[in-house]
């Protein structure tokens, strides 16, 4: 393993007030509050029910063959992280948690991600992973809180693919772009949430790779 793959993951403080805006995925028609990095084509968004508790619908979009990730609580250390990347015609997803600015090992818990097929695809330029995240909003300080009107999340990506991209527990090479952004949680709430969440396939907590 090259040294560069072991260098610390350091989520830089936001240099400007980066925030979310409304984004509707063209295929699933789900509307998210989403942050987009115009340089890389990265997007992370979320949709919430009118009374959020523990679940949300998320979308992670990337370009090319590298990984994209989000921290549900801002800077990466001791926060619940989500990553996804393409592997041929599949997308691989993974929960991570790190105790230092280094490759975050896989995290296990009651949380689960279930893909929403309509919003999970790979086209000639991007990959898009839409998922129902169940038991993902935690009260232990590792994520945003369900009752807040706004939160600070983190984003990160690497233009290089994970070393063992077929494995959901693959080491993640250091991010090549990253930052924090503010998310308007109250604006992410929708009356359509239940209908959107129902598009997720039956939960399969062990499934971490699926045909896009």
Ligand X SMILES: *[C@@H]1O[C@H](CO)[C@@H](O)[C@H](O)[C@H]1NC(C)=O
Residues near ligand X, by CB under 6 A: 26, 61, 123-126, 128, 139, 145, 147
Q: Are 109 and 195 in contact (CB under 8 A)?
A: no
Nearer to ligand X, 74 or 104 (CB): 74
Could you tell me the smallest distance in angstroms from the CB atom of residue 158 to ligand X? 19
Q: Are 142 and 153 in contact (CB under 8 A)?
A: no
Round to whole Å and give the CA distance between 120 and 94: 15
Could you tell me the smallest distance in angstroms from the CB atom of residue 127 to ligand X? 8
Round to whole Å and give the CA distance between 114 and 5: 29
Nearer to ligand X, 171 or 189 (CB): 189
Could you tell me the smallest distance in angstroms from the CB atom of residue 140 to ligand X? 9
> Scanning the structure block, which residue is given the tokens 């994520």?
143
Nearer to ligand X, 99 or 125 (CB): 125
Nearer to ligand X, 12 or 148 (CB): 148
> Scanning the structure block, which residue is given the tokens 């000639």?
124
Nearer to ligand X, 147 or 166 (CB): 147
Could you tell me the smallest distance in angstroms from the CB atom of residue 119 to ligand X? 9
- Tell which residue, 66, 102, 108, 101, has the closest CA to residue 84: 66
Q: Are 24 and 31 in contact (CB under 8 A)?
A: yes
Could you tell me the smallest distance in angstroms from the CB atom of residue 120 to ligand X? 11
Angstrom CA distances, 71 to 11, 163, 190, 203, stand at 10, 21, 22, 22
């Amino acid at each position: 393993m090259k040294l560069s793959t072991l260098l610390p993951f350091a989520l830089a403080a936001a240099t400007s007030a980066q925030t979310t805006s409304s984004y509707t995925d063209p295929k699933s028609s789900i509307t998210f509050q989403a942050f987009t990095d115009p340089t890389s084509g990265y997007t992370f968004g979320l949709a919430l029910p009118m009374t959020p508790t523990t679940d949300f619908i998320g979308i992670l979009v990337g370009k090319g063959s590298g990984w994209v990730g989000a921290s549900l609580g801002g800077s990466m250390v001791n926060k619940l992280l989500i990553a996804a990347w393409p592997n041929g015609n599949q997308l691989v997803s993974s929960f991570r948690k790190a105790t230092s600015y280094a490759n975050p090992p896989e995290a296990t818990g009651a949380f689960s991600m279930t893909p929403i097929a309509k919003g999970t695809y790979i086209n000639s330029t991007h990959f898009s992973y839409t998922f129902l995240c169940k038991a993902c909003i935690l009260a232990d300080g590792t994520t945003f809180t369900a009752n807040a009107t706004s939160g600070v999340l983190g984003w990160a990506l690497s233009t290089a693919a994970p070393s063992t991209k077929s494995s959901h527990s693959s080491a993640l090479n250091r991010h090549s772009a990253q930052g924090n952004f503010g998310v308007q949680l109250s604006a992410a709430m929708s009356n359509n949430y239940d209908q959107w969440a129902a598009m997720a396939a039956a939960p399969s907590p062990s499934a971490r790779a699926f045909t896009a």
